[in-house]
Amino acid sequence: MKKFYIETFGCQMNVHDSEKVIGTLVGRGYSQVETPDEADLLLYNTCSIRDKAEQKVFNRLVEIKKRSRDKVVGVLGCVAQQEGEKIFERAPHVSLVAGSASYNRLPEMLVQIETGHRRVTGLSLETEDTFEVPFTRRDNPHKAFLTIIEGCDKSCAYCVVPMTRGPERSRTSASVLDEARRLAAEGYTEITLLGQNVNSYRDPSPAGLDFAQLLRRIGQVDGLRRVRFTTSHPRDFVKDIIDAIDENPILCNHIHLPVQSGSTSILSRMQRLYTREEYLRRINWMKNARRDIAITSDIIVGFPGETDADFEQTLRLLEEVRYDSIFSFKYSQRPNTPALQYEDHLTEEEKSRRLTIVQERQRQIQLERNANYVGAIEEVHIDGYNRATRQWLGKTSQHKQVCFTHPMLPEPASGGATLEGTYLPVRITRSGPVSLAGEAAVLPN
Ligand code: 5AD
Ligand code: SF4
């Protein structure tokens, strides 16, 4: 039996790609093992979004060098696509380098390795295919990812993704809906639709659904209780998406709409294709929705040329939108991206200073926002139990983390009774900057 070990770095798309890679390998007689030592094949599905993420991958490759003498080592994902054959030079113990646009050819590439090829690559980005597999390994039995669109056609000046994941390819709505129905039939109740830019989804079949139409259809699938999606690009975000969320409570009231900067001049240098005002118009749609929609974002500080006044605009935007949470990053120089050529790069110290200011300001906003939930009853989809704090954990439709106690089931019962995967109303009694705490309001039925 051929045994493989896989480690995944990076975003949810990578996590889900790995699930599909695992399904592909298991379908061909491989079995997955939990440690590199047990494996014949070591796979690393990698991320290159920032320099630190990429360094982590190369550190891992150095670490495993000695232990991988009789093993095949493969590098998949964004570092593979970005660095290509250079990886063989930096890490000669690697024999497979393949980007996500080539995963359909993985079985073939593995056969090449088995038949003695020392170095095999899958680096072409010229594809119209999506990576759809007959079997996907999913570890969580309640929540599933579902890809609707791959690749990215934007060209943000700081970003490697258009180069690492290739051009946009949408799946047919029939195939997406089939998978959603299959997942529901298997007992999944929450699904997250994935794509680098889900808003530019365009059904390639004659049905021709756009993203909001697809969302409405998925919201009708029997058995699903929550549908999420990520990630959205403001330029392609239309009001119809909010209308769809307003119409159907199955569609979660949470939108992740990365703004990156609050300054129109920086947005233009970033090639984001919208102004501060256009972005805020979309935020207004959300704020005027019938449902209370949680809004989250990504922020980059210290983009080349970001002045104090530009940075101030970002802080002002945080105050204006009052996000439920944000991911914030220092700008990181990436190979082959237009921003590398820009002048006026900021020092690390200045970027760190700005990052701290953003994070402190946002922490305060979250503290204030979350305090509004105290006293409310929120439906929580339960993820598990934390033995250290003796609390159950889960998420609201708005994707807020809730820790709570349960008077009748203080911990998972030894006989197996557990709340994992169920939905429960929880009375919120306390709040902090990143989570809410409370007590289950009733027993599950
Ligand atoms: N430097 C810093 N952050 C980046 N991101 C993407 N590229 C870079 C970069 N070069 C951030 C963006 C994006 C998120 C996934 O990562 O905020 O939305
Ligand atoms: Fe990292 Fe971006 Fe690739 Fe995801 S798509 S793995 S975030 S570089």
pLDDT tens track, the chain, 445 positions: 699 999 999 999 999 999 999 999 999 999 999 999 999 999 999 999 999 999 999 999 999 999 898 999 999 999 999 999 999 999 999 999 999 999 999 999 999 999 989 999 999 999 999 999 999 999 999 999 999 999 999 999 999 999 999 999 999 999 999 999 999 999 999 999 999 999 999 999 999 999 999 999 999 999 999 999 999 999 999 999 999 999 999 999 999 999 999 999 999 999 999 999 999 999 999 999 999 999 999 999 999 999 999 999 999 999 999 999 999 999 999 999 999 999 999 999 999 999 999 999 999 999 999 999 999 999 999 999 999 999 999 999 999 999 999 999 999 988 888 999 999 999 999 999 999 999 999 754 5
What's the CA angle centered on 213, arms 208 and 215, to 5 degrees? 125
Which atom, in ligand 1's list, is nearest to the CA of 159? 7
* Ligand 2 atom 8, closest CA: 49
Ligand 2 atom closest to residue 46's alpha carbon, by position in its atom list: 6
pLDDT of residue 323: 98
- Please report the pLDDT score of residue 414 as a whole number: 85
Q: What is the pLDDT of residue 1?
A: 62
Q: What is the pLDDT of residues 187-216, one digit of tens each?
A: 999 999 999 999 999 999 999 999 999 999
**Quick check: CB of 10 below 6 Å from ligand 2?**
yes
The rounded Å distance from CA 13 to ligand 2 centre is 7
Query: Three-state SS across the chain?
Result: CEEEEEEECCCHHHHHHHHHHHHHHHHCCEEECCCHHHCCEEEEEECCCCHHHHHHHHHHHHHCCHHHCCCEEEEEHHHHHHHCCHHHHHCCCEEEEECHHHHHHHHHHHHHHHCCCCCEEECCCCCCCCCCCCCCCCCCCCEEEEECEECCCCCCCCCCHHHHHCCCEECCHHHHHHHHHHHHHCCCCEEEEECCCHHHCECCCCCCCEHHHHHHHHCCCCCCCEEEEECCCHHHCCHHHHHHHHHCCCECCEEECCCECCCHHHHHHCCCCCCHHHHHHHHHHHHCCCCCCEEEEEEEECCCCCCHHHHHHHHHHHHHHCCCEEEEEECCCCCCCHHHHCCCCCCHHHHHHHHHHHHHHHHHHHHHHHHCCCCCEEEEEEEEEECCCCEEEEECCCCCEEEEECCCCCCCCCCCCCCCCCEEEEEEEEECCCEEEEEECCCCC
Nearest protein Cα to ligand 1, atom 6: 159
Side-chain-facing half-sphere of 178: CA atoms under 13 Å:
8
Residue 337 CA, closest ligand 1 atom number: 10
The string over 346-357, giving b where at least 16 C-beta atoms fall within 10 Å of a residue's C-beta and e elsewhere, is: beeebbebbbee
Report the separation in Å between the CA atom of 333 and the middle of ligand 2, taken as the mean of its atom positions.
Answer: 15
Residue 415 has a pLDDT of: 82
Ligand 1 centroid distance, CA of 159 (Å): 6
> pLDDT tens digits for 360-370?
999 999 999 99
Q: CATH assignment of 143-371, given 3.40.50.2000, 3.30.360.10, 3.50.50.60, 3.80.30.20?
A: 3.80.30.20
Please, what CATH class does the domain formed by 3-122 belong to? alpha beta
- Pocket test of ligand 2: the residue of 15, 165, 336 to mutate, having most ligand atoms within 8 Å of its CB, is 165
Name the residue with the closest Cα to ligand 2, atom 5. Answer: 161
Q: Which ligand is nearest to the CA of 18?
A: 2
Q: In testing the pocket of ligand 2, which one of 8, 12, 13 has its CB within 8 Å of the most ligand atoms?
A: 13
Q: What is the CATH number of domain 377-440?
A: 2.40.50
**Structural domain boundaries of the chain?**
3-122, 143-371, 377-440
